[in-house]
Every structure is written in C-alpha cells, then in structure tokens.
Chain A
Amino acid sequence: MTPPVTRFTAPGLAAAYLCTAVALTAQAGPARGRGAPPVASARASAPSDLTGYWVAVISQDWRWRMVTPPRGDYASVPITLEAKKMGDAWDPAKDEAAGEACRAYGAPGLMALPTRLHITWQDDETLRMDADAGTQTRLFRFAAARVTRRGALSWQGESVAEWTRPRPAPGTTPKGGSLKVVTTNLRPGYLRRNGVPYGADAVLTEHWDLFTDPSGDQWIGITRIMEDPKFLREPWVTVLNFKKEHDGAKWEPTPCT
C-alpha cells in the first residue's frame, strides 16, 4: 500500500523558518565579542536630541518656585526633624555674608527654579547644561561610570549619565529612550530658597524624557528622585517640565541672589 502523501509548500516552510530565525535573533540582542562593531559615543548613540534652549514652565508649585516661600514652609517635602530645625533657623543675610548665596542653586534646587537651560555637547561623552538662574553649569558625564575618584564637593556635584532604552520588540529597532543622570558629591545646599536643606550625602537621580505636544512644541520632562539620609524621611519625587525655545533671545544669566 502506498503511504498517503502530505504536501508542504516550500515557500511556506521557508517563511516559517525565516520568521522564527528573525524572532529568535532579535530576542538574543545585539552581537557581542570578537567582530562586534565598536561602541558608539554617547553623542552618536543618543536616542533623542536634548540640545538647545529650554525654559521652565512654572505650572506647579508656583508659590514655592517662582518666589521665596515663608520661613518654615515645608509643604510637599518629607523632611526630618533635623531638617526642620535648620530650616527654621534659615537666615539669607547670614548665607550671603558667608559667601553661600548659591545654596539654593545647587543641582537639586536649581532645576526647580524659574530658569532657562542651554544644553550642548561639550564633547562626545559629556552633555553640558547651563542655567541662566545663578549662572550655573552642570556636566553630565557618560564615561564617568568608570571613574571612581571623587572631587571636592560642589553646588552641581558630579553627574554620571547614561541612556536608558526600552527593550525592543522582536525584529524591531528600539525607539525612544531617556537620559538617566545620577548626581552625588553635592555641597550642602537648599531644596528651596527658604532654607529647606540637603546634605553632602544626598543623591539626586533624574530621568529626562523628551516629548512633543499636539501643537508641535517640544518638552523635556524630568522625573526626579532626591534621597538624603539626613534631611529626608523618604525619597522626594518631583516632576518638572521645560519647553523648547527657538533660540537664546531670552537667555539672561543672573547671579545667585
């Protein structure tokens, strides 16, 4: 008896093998080891372009950001009793006399102030952010993860940067991604102008996202997590928004006040 014959179409089988191979290859991720292409610089591999002029849009916490709130106003900040003691003793004249007028312009306070940002690439591995409020500069170093030496404490501290990307769906190129910045080595300063303190052990983690609103305006949204074992009971999470401007026509550097 002749066995029954089952028919398979060669193109169908080939397509099935091809789809499977593509899917499994995509799951396996990019090639590694010998023969792999050299790693692109941070600038070349940026998933989004953050350069340009950006302005803070103060649509949240207006009374705590646009003007100096009263002494003792700690609304929204999960401070410790020690922080409250320092905040209650805040004396701006004393700060100025001591050469500490920039205490509210360190990285954790600066980003919430009414300011404009100018973002440029200082080199292929360093993103530079200038702020006209207080005439401050932050440097986001992508190659800094390999550096363990810590410098002196400073208002803007030391910022290690990396691009974070979504896991790509099989067979696709990942779209989007964020800038993650972790800042340490901060000189003690203020979270707000009214003397809400942070200390030298504070760690500021920021996630920078780029989005475009329906009118075509570009925005940077920053989700910030501030941790300070001395002055915060728990991580303080805030979200800030900056809108892109065509040029630097409104750029107006001012000193710390």
Chain B
Amino acid sequence: MHLRTTPMAARRLRTTSMAMLAVWVLLAPSSADAQFDLTGKWASRSGQDAQERGPGPDPVDYMGLPLNDEGRARALSYDYSLMSLPEGQCGYHTPFYIVLGPFGLHIWNEFDPVTGRLLAWKIGGWVDRDVTTIWMDGRPHPSPNAPHTYAGFTTGRWEGDTLVTTTTHMKATTIRRNGAPVSDRATMTMYFVRHGELLTVRAVMDDPVYFSEPLVRARAWALDTRGTLNLGNGVVSPCEPIAELPRADAVGVVPHYLPGQNPFVKELAERYSLPAEAVLGGGDTLYPEFRKRLLDYKPPMACKRYCGCEGLGVPCISDGSGVPK
C-alpha cells in the first residue's frame, strides 16, 4: 500500500521520519556499546598487597600462588641478577600486572571512523606494562602459532553490567616480581565492574604449565575526575638497556640457581615463623583447611619491616629495629 501526499506534507513526513530514525538509532541497544563508561582516569584504591605492590616481594615468597611442582622449580631457579642482563631490562609485564601493580589507570576508547561503533577500549601502559587494547568489534583471536607479546591479544564482551575480557598470546614472564613464573600457554580473563565511583577488576590467570589451578586476583580504583593523581606515567616509557653489573658483561652468563641451591629458600619462613611449605605456595595453601598445617604457628613478637607507614602521622619502621622512626 502506498500513500499519496503533497510536497509540503511530504517534507513534514520526511522530517518527522528522520527525527524518529535518529531517536531510534540513539536509543537502540548495541552489543558493542558500553553498559557503563570506562573512560577516564582511575586512582588506585587498593588496601591490599602493599609489600608486593610497593617495595616488592621477598625472595621465595610464593604465598597465595597456586604453583605446581614445575612452577615452583622454575621459580626457585630465579636469580634477581637476571634483571641486570641487558636483554632482561626492558621486559614488560603482561596485562595481569593491572591487578598486581601499584598504579592508577588511564582508559579511553576508539571508534570506527565510518560506522561510529566502538572498536576498542585502551588501558594506558605503565613504565613496565604495555598498553592493553581490548577489541570490542568481535574480531577473532589469532592463530595459536601467531607471535606472542607481553601485551598479548585481548577481546571483550559485555555480560550484563560486566565487561568480560579474554587475553591470549602473552609471552612467558613472571607473575610475581621475585621470579614466580607464568608460561606463554596462559590465558587470562578479566571482569570489569563499576559501582558508582569505584571500578573493580578481577583477573583469572589460567596457566596449564605452571599452575595447579587458576590464580584469581582483584583490586579497585576510584574515578579521578581531576586527573591529577599518579598514573605511573600513563604511557609506556622508553627503555634503554645498559650493562649494570660486571658479571652481566660476561659472555654466556645467565644468572640462575641450580635445583636445591637457592640460598633464600628458608629466609622468609624463618623470619615469619612459618613452615617452609607455606611460603612455597601451591593450590592447597589457598584454602581454609591449610590452617590445620599451621597449628604450631606463633606470630613474631613485633613487625620489623614494611609495617605500614605510608600515611600521615604513622612513623615508618625503617631500620629493622621494630621501633618507629
């Protein structure tokens, strides 16, 4: 059926129809559209893992990590001098470092210039983590044989009000800054949830090579509307490797410990009166029943280092004496 009309009425109808179309396009749901806006600067608000985020973990501190025997053996072979090798100085962390590192986040989005559809979210890099691009346009992950990078390849989708991302093609690197490993077979799923001004990111790292079960970590950020807080540069800093130690100049030397020769294996356990098996990590150490193997534990008399002094008015304990300075 067709309607006949005059030019003036036709113009009115055309205008009305265009307006309706515009309303419909603006309001219609889209699978790639955000359920909430991630863009902006987010200041770190995590009241957890202060030592790991700040000064760094102690040697052979694998507490909370689901390392299997292979992962533990690889971790114990790690020598900190590896970081002094020129080829080791500019290694970046994988995107898992988003939930490990101490910094804020800078997140922006990019749109297809033709369709106007959301192409990707981008999470700015830090000095030791590359930019994370979360592709939202439905593109597939590359072939398993494609090159791996520290940033890996990440896609995202909305599940209700949660942005769920999947990262593959990450290079083998460390999951903790004391050499605990993660392999290039690992995959990572992240869950982004927003509650008002708070952004929570949970990351599930599954590594069939070095973990006995997936590692789950989470942290939170607060929207920083002034954009003035430290974002860890918010950009990837250039890295220029140099020879730092004479030993690192020696040809063919790769710092490492042979099995059974790591000198730090008992240090942490003795410092905190813990059984050696506790500091070596493992899936069974993550659950409440592991406390039955800690019945002889008695806490040290007083905290002597990294006791929490980052705030105003709370003096630091800086010399190992246990006495605030």
Q: Is there a chain B Cβ closer than 8 Å to A141's Cβ?
A: no
- The segment from B142-150, B159-167, B231-239, B241-249 found at the interface with A is B159-167
Interface bits B35-62 vs A (CB < 8 Å: 1, else 0): 1100000000111111100000000000
Query: A135 at interface (Cβ–Cβ under 8 A)?
Result: no
Which residues in chain B, 141-181, are within 8 Å of chain A measured between CB atoms?
A: 159-162, 164, 166
B272 interface neighbour in A24, A60, A63, A78, Cβ under 8 Å = A63
A133 contacts which chain B residues (CB < 8 A)? 288
In the complex, the answer to whether B35 meets A211 with C-beta atoms within 8 Å is no
Among A3-11, A37-45, A95-103, A145-153, the one that faces the other chain is: A3-11
Q: Which of A85-101 contact B (CB under 8 A)?
A: none
Residues of A within 8 A of B300 (CB): 70
Query: What 1/0 mask marks residues of chain B from 223 to 267 whose CB sits below 8 Å from any chain A CB?
Result: 000000000000000000000000000000000000000000000
Q: Known contacts A71-B299, A239-B200; decide if A13 and B17 are in contact (CB<8 Å).
A: yes
Q: Does B50 lie within 8 Å of A233, measured CB to CB? A: no
| B308–A79 CB distance below 8 A | yes
Question: Which residues 202-242 of B have a CB within 8 angstroms of A?
Answer: 202, 204, 206, 214-220, 222
Within 8 Å CB of B198, what residues of A? 207, 223, 225, 237
Query: Which of A118-126, A154-162, A214-222 is near enough to bind chain B?
Result: A214-222
Let me know if A68 and B308 touch, CB within 8 A: no
Contact A60 B314 (CB under 8 A): no
Pick from B3-11, B84-92, B129-137 the stretch touching chain A. B3-11
A143 CB-CB contact with B under 8 Å: no
- On whether the beta carbons of B291 and A66 are closer than 8 Å, the reply is yes
A128 within 8 A of B: no
A170 interface hit (Cβ, 8 Å) = yes
Cβ proximity bits B284-316 to A, threshold 8 Å, 1 near / 0 not:
011111110010010111111011101111100
Question: A211-B162, A239-B202, A239-B218 given as contacts; is B47 within 8 A of A76 (CB)?
Answer: yes
Known: A170-B27, A214-B206, A239-B220. A84 touches B48 (CB 8 A): no
Interface of A is mostly: loop
Task: Point out the residues of chain B lying under 8 angstroms from A3, CB to CB.
Answer: 6-7
Contact assessment for B287 and A214 in the assembled complex, using a CB-CB cutoff below 8 Å: no
Name the A residues within 8 Å of B47 (CB-CB). Answer: 76-78, 236-238
Given A55-B287, A166-B35, A219-B216, CB of A4 within 8 Å of CB of B7: yes
Q: Interface readout for B63-97 with A: 1 if CB under 8 Å, 0 if not?
A: 11110000000000000000000000000000000
Q: Is the CB of B46 within 8 A of A238?
A: yes
B248 smallest CB distance to A (angstroms): 32
Cβ–Cβ contact A84 & B50, under 8 A: no
Closest-CB distance, A52 to chain B (whole angstroms):
16
Question: Is the C-beta of A176 less than 8 angstroms from some C-beta in chain B?
Answer: yes
CB <8 Å contact, B314 and A79: yes
Residue of B1, B30, B49, B304 with highest tally of chain A CB at under 10 A: B49
Q: Which of A9, A16, A59 contacts B217 (CB 8 A)?
A: A59
Knowing A8-B13, A27-B27, A60-B49, the reply to whether A223 touches B200 (Cβ < 8 A) is yes
Q: B114 contacts the other chain (Cβ, under 8 Å)?
A: no
| Complexed CA–CA distance, A20 and B24 (Å) | 5
A12 to B21, CA, bound (A): 11
Interface: A209 (CB within 8 A): yes
Pick from B104-112, B118-126, B188-196 the stretch touching chain A: B188-196
State which of B50, B65, B218 has its C-beta within 8 Å of the C-beta of A75: B50
Q: Which residues of A contact B289 (CB under 8 A)?
A: 250, 252
Q: Scan residues 220-253 of chain A and give those whose CB is less than 8 A from a CB of chain B.
A: 221, 223, 225, 233, 235-241, 250, 252
Chain A, residues 194-221, CB within 8 Å of chain B (1/0): the string is 1000000000000101010111000101
- In whole angstroms, what is the CA distance A240 to B46 when docked? 11
Q: Given A69-B299, A219-B216, A237-B47, do A81 and B313 touch, yes or no (CB 8 Å)?
A: yes
A72-B307 in contact given A80-B313, A194-B299, A237-B45 (Cβ < 8 Å): yes
How many angstroms between the C-alpha atoms of A126 and B280 in the bound complex?
42
List the 8 closest pairs (A to B, CB-CB), nearest first. A176-B160, A74-B308, A166-B161, A175-B160, A169-B29, A6-B10, A73-B303, A114-B288
Q: What are 9 of the A-B contact pairs (CB < 8 Å)?
A: A6-B5, A10-B1, A10-B3, A164-B195, A171-B27, A171-B28, A175-B159, A209-B162, A215-B214
**Which residues of B are interface residues toward A (Cβ below 8 A)?**
1-7, 10, 13, 17, 20-21, 23-24, 27-30, 33, 35-36, 45-51, 63-66, 159-162, 164, 166, 187, 189, 191, 193, 195, 198, 200, 202, 204, 206, 214-220, 222, 272, 274, 278, 285-291, 294, 297, 299-304, 306-308, 310-314, 317, 322
Which residues of A does B touch, CB under 8 Å? Answer: 3-10, 13, 16-17, 19-20, 23-24, 26-27, 55-63, 66-81, 84, 114-116, 132-133, 164-166, 169-172, 174-178, 180, 194, 207, 209, 211, 213-215, 219, 221, 223, 225, 233, 235-241, 250, 252
Given A69-B299, A209-B200, A219-B202, 7 extra CB contacts under 8 A: A19-B28, A63-B272, A70-B301, A84-B314, A169-B35, A170-B28, A238-B47
